[in-house]
Amino acid sequence: MKRYAPPAGWTVQAYMFALDPSDVQVAGLRRNTGAARFVYNHMLRRVSAVKAQRAAEASYGVAEADLTPWQGWSLPDLRRTWNEIKTWVAPWWAECSKEAFNTGLVNLSAALGNWHASRTGARKGRRMGWPRTKRRHGRRSARFTTGAIRVDPGYRHVVLPRLGRIRTHESTRKLARRVKAGTATILSATVTETAGRWFCSFQVTVKRAVCPAPGLMETSKPGRNASDARTEEVQR
């Protein structure tokens, strides 16, 4: 996936806020982060099954052209396959944001891409193994890039797709004021559960004042002005 490049004079930074969700909102957060884990594991098992099937067929002497077709692991390929099977694999999919499923597919595509690059020598460093499935009680996370993503004008709530307004432990004033002034733009929001606490991290482009480096600053030789002339006349 192509990395985002901010425009000149802008930089990317993160704003993280601890959340204080209600019980209903906690259930929604767990549902969406669980959906990200589910699609990651399901599609990984699908790719693994195709990989094993092709290896078995090759061991029986089946020609390369007659092997079971690969399950592509680029993000468009994974999305296409998931959209074809989601209605019977996950009949509850409509209860979650599509961004939750996209989180799992993006992570899987990156993991398989890194494995392939390491295996072919395109990636430096220690050789990577085949990706593993994510544990049910592991780190929960989901990233939102589209839909209603903002900080509330009251400075104590964030708004996320399918989850609505969630109260924060601290004020969001600093980010909210930047967004209102037009010096910051929210790109995405990631919700994460850490040690039983929920957090929301906003990826933001922020406008920065660019100052010239000290060595590049122009220096001018001070000249003699009218004030200097008057001072000399008084001294005489």
- Residue-wise pLDDT tens digits, 32-61: 999 999 999 999 999 999 999 999 988 888
pLDDT at site 211: 63
- Give, in order, the Cα–Cα distances in Å from 14 to each of 32, 144, 206, 214: 22, 14, 10, 28
Q: What is the C-alpha to C-alpha distance for residues 236 and 220, in angstroms, rounded to an integer?
A: 29
Q: For residue 209, give the amino acid letter.
A: A
Q: What is the C-alpha to C-alpha distance for residues 80 and 141, in angstroms, rounded to an integer?
A: 23
pLDDT for 102 beyond 60: yes
94-99 mean pLDDT: 94
pLDDT for 103 beyond 90: yes
In terms of pLDDT, which residue wins out, 32 or 211?
A: 32
In terms of pLDDT, which residue wins out, 137 or 175?
A: 175
In terms of pLDDT, which residue wins out, 65 or 213?
A: 65
Task: Note whether 18 and 168 are within 8 A (CB).
Answer: yes
pLDDT at site 231: 47
In terms of pLDDT, which residue wins out, 64 or 176?
A: 176
pLDDT band for 215, please (50, 70, 90 cuts): low
86-107 mean pLDDT: 95
pLDDT at site 86: 96
Mean pLDDT of the chain: 87
Residue 45 corresponds to which tokens in the numbers above?
Answer: 């098992």
21-31 mean pLDDT: 95
pLDDT for 224 beyond 70: no
pLDDT at site 197: 93
179-193 mean pLDDT: 94
- Burial (CB < 10 A; 0-12, 13-18, 19+), residue 229, is exposed
pLDDT band for 214, please (50, 70, 90 cuts): low
pLDDT band for 1, please (50, 70, 90 cuts): low
This prediction's pTM: 0.81
